[in-house]
Structures are given as structure tokens and as C-alpha cells.
Amino acid sequence: MLGRPVPSHRGFVEWQHQQQLSENLTLTGELNYWRDSEVVRDFRLSEFLKVQQPDTYLESAYTGKNYFVSLFSRFQPKYL
């Protein structure tokens, strides 16, 4: 819009994973890495309006007959 080129160091990564490891065991994960806080806003405004902070997590859940056990971890990748 202003006629200035987009810096080459901007970028983001999005990855989602859902897997049924066995009948009772699932694995779910999501990775969101933003090189700068405005990169998603500038290139995918509709996605930015839904999620304005990147979230990265991994969860595994085991379901039994009358119970379930879940292991959940959340972390934030640092800027490169």
C-alpha cells in the first residue's frame, strides 16, 4: 500500500496434528510460530482476528472405561 517492500525476515509457521494412536490413545498438537507480532495480521487478517497470540501445545489422552488420563504441555518457541 505504501510502496515499500516487505522485509525478507518476516514469516510464520502453522502446524496442526491429530492422531489416533490406538483405540484408547490419542495425540493432538498445534505449533504456531510468528516471526513478528504483525505478520499474521498483515497476511491473514481473518486468522489474526480469531487468535491474536500464537499458541503451541501437545496433548496425549488415554481413555478407559470410566476414566481418562491426559498429559498436556504448552510452550512458546522463541524468535530465531
- Show the domain range for 61: 12-75
* Per-residue tens of pLDDT for the chain, all 80 residues: 567 666 677 888 889 999 999 999 999 999 988 887 778 888 788 888 887 788 899 999 999 999 999 999 998 766 54
pTM: 0.70
CA distances from 60 to 3, 6, 35, 57 (A): 47, 39, 28, 10
Q: How many domains does the chain have?
A: 1
Establish if 19 belongs to a structural domain. Answer: yes
User: In this structure, is residue 80 part of a structural domain?
Assistant: no
Query: Edge-to-edge strands of the sheet including 68-75?
Result: 12-20, 25-34, 56-63, 68-75
**Length of the chain, please?**
80
* 31 within a domain of the structure (yes/no): yes
Task: Report yes or no on 51 lying in a domain.
Answer: yes
Q: 1 lies in a domain?
A: no
